[in-house]
Structure 1
């Protein structure tokens, strides 16, 4: 869906994870279009000696946030959120948000049994459990480069971890390279809001928002009909037919432009007319007013 900076700033800053083992049953099949730009990080992901570590006090105290590029197939974008106290990494969060669907963070999806690494991928532990082991190892070693990996991004250094860890390494390196960042005002997680069913169109508007590091990092404007169809996917599949009706672009393409505006303007709504339309977003002729209102409603749960 959208692009943005990966360094956390104030209210809204942007920040996929290679699935490792197993597939995410919730990921959309469309290419990621909501992805923030990945933070620049050192290329090396293999370590020097595993016990090399980082000298105590080497890091400036604060919170660090970094991402890698979103996976075009699954939509997951990996990030690392690190806390440094007394010059040492004391907390590490390896997670991901979905730039196609927004909604819950990857750990929550795994904790809720919806990622299925054990059942569907045959792994010995679920994704969030393996992530926790990798996080603990980083805190012990104090250096992302101390996690040795093979050519495929796997490691034998961390017991019980069979997923690719190279993305965690890269995101952690990116976070440390970016320096301390400001944590945003919201609680991390996925938030949802929906409007009333429109009797004329047969659709009700839905908004999903994802917060990471206290800031909004992904948003999805869509809808549902009585059959349970997702409006954005309905349009992607060519079933909505706006261009056939004379529009310059399809509904999902215009929705993505509105999402980009939302992220770029930190949730501020454009100037709207009485019908909820705007001239402020080039290429958008659909009603967008309700989406900005619903996004604000969704974020009430994140305060």
Structure 2
């Protein structure tokens, strides 16, 4: 467990994407009109309750729950506490993750400090047992496992010693190519592929573009997902085409689940260069 400022977190590995923002949230009760359950997943970590971005319950054994819509391997939960008063009220709250709504989800698996492996679940509960308790949450963020980090990656060609395929899944989003954490191909119709080792229902891919030059080169690249290595995987399902990504920027592509073991980035055309400074892949339950 790490603590910093008004927030605290359960942490497994590097920061990935927040599953909770905008998801449906409910709670045991609502103290007044300022304290709606949805406030904890509005993407705003404002900790002054009076500014209307925190939750607030009333009564005994209060709880709050977010529905992630699908089963995920949760790797990290971050909570921002109330900042204008009453910070001690959060003490004793439990983070529980799982798939059951028995007892409003408050019998799900209890996370413990220094949890070192992902926990599967669709629901994340914050439960504060006791009489006369108030539960106030100013933001709850839930993070999922990046399936691509550390996985085996290959590409159509390699421009020089700095541009290895594995650089896009090294967990480092450094966008200056000269620092050795980006890929770089050479030749026509370049492609890059990561092997997720198993078939997953992929729902999101994030790509970090080169930042020191040439950001326009990514335009027209395609994200393809599937199980076939025919045509080096470039004939798998086309999920989306990539438009402009800011220099050094990370763009996230969300889509309905697509089943596949392989994720390809394919850039059709002659005299094309494909440079990826990080590719992150996220999925629901297999």
Shared fold per TM-score greater than 0.5: no
| TM-score, normalising length: structure 2 | 0.31
Larger Rg: 2
Structure with the bigger percentage of strand: 2
Structure with the bigger percentage of helix: 1
